[in-house]
Amino acid sequence: MPLEFEKEHLELYQKIDQLRRLYQLGEKDKEAELRKLQREFRKNAKELYKKLDPWSRVLIARHPHRPHTVDYISLIFRDFTELHGDRCFGDDRSIVAGFAYLDNMPVAIIGHEKGRSTKEKMDRNFGMPHPEGYRKAIRVAKLAEKYRMPVITFVDTPGAYPGIGAEERGQSEAIARSLYTFGYLKVPSIAVVIGEGGSGGALALAVANRILMLENAIYSVISPEGCAAILWKDQSKVKEASAALKLTAQDLLKLGVIDYIVPEPLGASHIDPKRSARVLKYFLRRCLKELINRSPEEILSERIKKFERMGDFLEK
């Protein structure tokens, strides 16, 4: 289902798709009309997505057709081998973790996964990890460090699961240990916020040498709904909360929380996932090229200094 502000834009995209099919079938008289609509689409997209307010970006980040971790794994990497379980309690399917190749380089991949269908969403717990999910992530990260492989994480979660069972099994301890593990890895690490980056559940996988964020993703200490409920006791204040939280990629780049904004295709990632994956792959290659030849000591020192700089301020 398209978002309200996207309806006209998506109708134009569908017309272009229909004309492209006709042109490919040999109806060459459609070429001029196709090119005209493509120009109109590009202009419309630039105007529409340039003026989005923070709440609109929240809605895009949560779009049901937005590419997930498993989509980016299949589109960017090859020969992915998934690992399961934390060797302590069980396997949390809200965290996907394993090893693959980026071009010819072996890498570890760890990411949140929300699922698509209702059945899969329940199986994946809507992308909200339990403690065993974070312990699985830690296990794979340590294996990557042992075999000198870079670690790439994909962040897309409303937050860690807040249920009683998760708390009984040490949710806060698992998140804290994950923060420590990723903070002190002696191999290059890249975190990519691809959708929702919610609270400590997201931060647990986002301590890295390079933090990338897709153009319409969000990253924040609390959801806009939670913020509105606490500050205004009014759920209708989500737009004001979204603006106050500074949760967009554009705001976070200015604040120094992230390193790069990854541009999304005209019309956002959910309209053209393959193109979105190609752009993200370019940024992953670029970051790995910057980091791959550095010594373990340099990798660790740079990461620590990066996070020490966050929150610096001058008192006037």
Q: What is the CA radius of gyration of the chain?
A: 20
Residue 235: the pLDDT is: 84
- d(CA 140, CA 50) in angstroms, rounded, equals 38
| pLDDT tens figures, 208-237 | 999 999 999 999 999 999 999 999 988 888
Strands 105-112 and 95-102: antiparallel
- d(CA 97, CA 3) in angstroms, rounded, equals 31
pLDDT at 91 over 70: yes
Residue 236: the pLDDT is: 86
Q: Evaluate whether 53 touches 242 at the Cβ level (below 8 Å).
A: yes
Q: Evaluate whether 81 touches 98 at the Cβ level (below 8 Å).
A: yes
Q: Evaluate whether 140 touches 98 at the Cβ level (below 8 Å).
A: yes
Query: 210 φ, ψ to 5°?
Result: -130, 130
pTM of the entire predicted model: 0.86
Average pLDDT over the chain, rounded to an integer: 88
- Within 10 angstroms of residue 266's Cβ, the number of other Cβ atoms is 19
Q: Evaluate whether 209 touches 288 at the Cβ level (below 8 Å).
A: no
**pLDDT category, 269, cuts 50, 70, 90?**
confident
Q: Evaluate whether 205 touches 178 at the Cβ level (below 8 Å).
A: yes
Question: Which of 193, 105, 100 lies closest to 140 in space, CA to CA?
Answer: 100
Residue with tokens 């370019």: 282
| pLDDT tens figures, 137-176 | 999 999 999 999 999 999 999 999 999 999 999 999 999 9
| pLDDT tens figures, 17-64 | 666 665 555 555 566 666 776 676 666 666 666 778 899 889 889 988
Element holding 152 (H helix, E strand)? strand 151-157
